[in-house]
Amino acid sequence: MTSHLISLTFDDGFAKSAQMLAKIHGEFGLKASLNVIARGADPAFPAPDEWHNAPRGSWELWNELSSQGHEINPHGYDHSDPNKLPPEENARRIDECIRIFQRSLKGFNPSQAVYACPYNATNPELESKLASSFRTYRAGGNPVNPLPSTNTKRINCWSDGPGNADASTEALINRFLDSPGGWLVPAMHGLDEEGWGPLSSGFLRRLLEKLSKDGRVEVMGPRMALGRIS
């Protein structure tokens, strides 16, 4: 593994963005890392907030992308903020999230999955539940992590929004490339006009082209990175 590992992760499961993310990553021999809401495929599921502004994908789409090698990970049961709920309700929703993924996503195994916390929010009680339920979990914090190891349980990430996040993402990655290295995990959302803090598809393509030519850098989803060392 190189000194600079980058995992671009994309939340909320917007259908159009997911298909474009898979396409763009594929142009560089990469796999996208997509975090989807367990209830998101239900047509009756309401938008959790104003930034859920585009149609979400179906389990048919998630299974298709998973079969192509793209990472599909949980992004909560219903995208509720865990810090607004009591611990027992958070635990119940995590268990229900797992049940939905197990019956809906072929081959899903929580012991191999990375749980992407909605709003990047967490608390000590929730972290204990997540650590015992999933391979690891992603939450807010300093996004430059130690390189993956068998002891990795929490992955810190970075997000920016609500407007277009091209410039801030480029600045973040440039600072990281000028650093001694580690594991950088930006938590993005949709492409173009979809979601909170979207990237433009053109910027993403240029970014991946640049990173693919940098011999110091590897780009891969967090589940793939963890799978290489466990």
- Predicted confidence at residue 59, as pLDDT, reads 98
- Predicted confidence at residue 230, as pLDDT, reads 57
- Predicted confidence at residue 1, as pLDDT, reads 59
- Predicted confidence at residue 229, as pLDDT, reads 82
C-alpha span between 118 and 140 (Å, rounded): 10
Amino acid letter at 121? A
Hey, what long-range contacts does 172-177 have (CB within 8 A, 24 or more apart)? 172/143, 173/6, 173/207, 173/211, 176/4, 176/6, 176/144, 177/4, 177/214, 177/216, 177/217
- Predicted confidence at residue 159, as pLDDT, reads 96
DSSP 84: G
Give pLDDT tens digits along the chain (230 positions): 579 999 999 999 999 999 999 999 999 999 999 999 999 999 889 888 899 999 999 999 999 999 999 999 999 999 999 999 999 999 999 999 999 999 999 999 999 999 999 999 999 999 999 999 999 999 999 999 999 999 999 999 999 999 999 999 999 999 999 999 999 999 999 999 999 999 999 999 999 999 999 999 999 999 999 998 85
**Residue 53 corresponds to which tokens in the numbers above?**
């502004």
C-alpha span between 53 and 194 (Å, rounded): 6
Residue 138, H or E segment: strand 136-140
C-alpha span between 211 and 120 (Å, rounded): 25
Instruction: Using a cut of 0.85, tell me whether the model's pTM lies above it.
Output: yes
Q: Does domain 4-227 have CATH number 3.90.1150.10?
A: no
- Predicted confidence at residue 156, as pLDDT, reads 98
- Predicted confidence at residue 165, as pLDDT, reads 98
